[in-house]
Structure 1
Amino acid sequence: MNRAEKASLQLQAVSVLRMLKETRTYDELAAVTGLPAGDLNRYVNGHVLPSADRAETVVSGVGREELAEELHARTRLDADGYVDNSAVVFDQSFLDLVAPVAAESFDFDRPDVVLTAATDGITLASAMASYFGARSAYAKKSKETAVEEFIESRQRLASGIELTYYLPASAIDPGETVLVVDDLVRSGETQELLLDIAERADADVGGVFALIAVGEEGIERAKSCTDAPVGALTTFAE
């Protein structure tokens, strides 16, 4: 880890701790992190940065667990299985915390492009792209009028409906690494289409990430389409 990466990790840990501190006393935060309350006070108030080892523990361990808990608290699943995660996808500051935690928790290759499907995945893609210093690209169900060339992926669903996504051909260059992200994975159909777009672009897949997996079907389907790491921040039972 070079000096810039270390500093970035330390600042990410402070951001996570400040988020956790909003609903906890320092003693409660100490119980969650295993770190002394006095040290946590100094980290949260900006007097000193945590060591790289402590920062990594916060970001990859405590950060993931607590963000997943927060995600559960903000998400509603009704009796019909519909998911309302608007309190998450509209909160860019929360998603900015998710990005480094996801990067540390899953062994994703550093992407050149973060690819998602419009529209709910856009805010997460923006956060992930900003963290990695990558471009973001959004596949849509309709063609943009001014774009001449598209990468197109089409699939007939079990219901008989045909689902098609279009991405401007200039969005991904051959040989680039693509991270596929979305706010939600259930059946895995959208992720399969996005992975197909990456393949048609002659790109390498660095990973697949979702905020929420509803059941295991979608995650398993994505895993069957790529050898890259596949994961979700949290899982809801169907």
Structure 2
Amino acid sequence: MSRYSDLKTRLSSVEILRLIKEEHSYEELSPLLGLSAPILSRYVKGHILPSLERSKRILEASMEQVSDLIRKKIRFEDERVFDHSAVIYNPNLLEKIGKLAFYEFGSIKVDKVLTVETDGIPLAAQVGREFNVSFVVAKNRKEMGIRDFIEVKRVFISGAYSYLFIPKGSIEQGEHVLIVDDAVRTGFTLETLLELCRRCGAKPAGIYTIICFEDTLRRLEQKLNCPVKVLVRI
């Protein structure tokens, strides 16, 4: 990693500590993170920065607490239907989720971020900001003013289908694309986004999502030839 990436990791670990500190006392966090309460306090208050190796350990150990925090904000209607608007439209929380995305994929090359409209856009914007790259939004219709598109057919479990479109040239051949989505229910949209990458001659760098069903995740991990990172598994 570059010095810049190393510094981002160290700063991100402090930001994540501040986030989970809102839900836990230093005494509660101490055994979870393997650090004393006074040391955690000094990090959270910005008196000192943790070392790079300690920052990585903090980020790894904090994943479960961040996942629990997100889970508390999800409102379930039934097993497969939920409202996560309190997550994706929370700028402070989304900023931290973007930092975790950079931690997960910051060691590999990412040239573009790709998502699908509409709820994936806030996450894609934040992740793109962390990687300092632009993001592309696949849409269900062709936009006026754009002449050429790449399109892929998206087929649903019911047999119904639709198309996803991105402007031709928005993803270039050979680029490494990180695919992000706020929530993955069936995985068919993700597979369509992967096909869009292939049609452009790009290389999927990985998949990052906030929420994913366990059965869908198992199927994707078996089928897809790229890393899949999920914050909350349902």
TM-score by length of 2: 0.93
Q: AA paired with 1:96? A: E
CA contact (8 A) 1:13 1:56 kept: yes
Task: Measure the CA separation in 1 of the matches of 2:142 and 2:191.
Answer: 19
Q: Structure 2: 5+ residue runs without aligned partners? A: none
Q: AA paired with 2:226? A: A
2:26 matched residue in structure 1 = 26
User: Once the two structures are superposed, what CA deviation does each residue of 1:46-79 show, in whole Å capped at 9, x if it has no partner?
Assistant: 11111111111111x1221111111111112212
Task: Measure the CA separation in 2 of the matches of 1:157 and 1:145.
Answer: 26
1:22 is displaced (CA, Å) by: 1.4
Question: Where do 1:155-234 residues align within 5 Å?
Answer: 155-217=154-216, 220-221=219-220, 223-224=222-223, 226-234=224-232
More moved, 70-79 vs 210-219: 210-219
More moved, 106-115 vs 186-195: 106-115
RMSD: 1.8
Secondary structure at the residue paired with 1:170? Answer: coil
CA contact (8 A) 2:75 2:84 kept: yes
Over 3 Å counting, the alpha-carbon distance change for 1:219 and 1:135 in structure 2 is farther
Q: AA paired with 2:134? A: R
1:34 is displaced (CA, Å) by: 1.2
User: Once the two structures are superposed, what CA deviation does each residue of 1:74-115 show, in whole Å capped at 9, x if it has no partner?
Assistant: 112212621111010001221221223234346873311110
1:218 is displaced (CA, Å) by: 5.1
Determine if the alignment matches structure 1 residue 50 to structure 2 residue 61: no
Task: Measure the CA separation in 2 of the matches of 1:145 and 1:103.
Answer: 34
Determine if the alignment matches structure 1 residue 95 to structure 2 residue 98: no
More moved, 189-198 vs 30-39: 30-39
Task: Measure the CA separation in 2 of the matches of 1:105 and 1:155.
Answer: 28
Identity over the aligned pairs, expressed in percent?
32
Task: Measure the CA separation in 1 of the matches of 2:99 and 2:220.
Answer: 25
More moved, 4-13 vs 107-116: 107-116
Task: Measure the CA separation in 2 of the matches of 1:29 and 1:125.
Answer: 30
Over 3 Å counting, the alpha-carbon distance change for 1:142 and 1:108 in structure 2 is farther
Task: Measure the CA separation in 1 of the matches of 2:221 and 2:199.
Answer: 16
Q: AA paired with 1:115? A: L
Q: AA paired with 1:215? A: E
Task: Measure the CA separation in 1 of the matches of 2:20 and 2:70.
Answer: 13
Task: Measure the CA separation in 1 of the matches of 2:176 and 2:142.
Answer: 24
Q: Structure 1: 5+ residue runs without aligned partners? A: none
Over 3 Å counting, the alpha-carbon distance change for 1:126 and 1:107 in structure 2 is closer
2:82 matched residue in structure 1 = 83
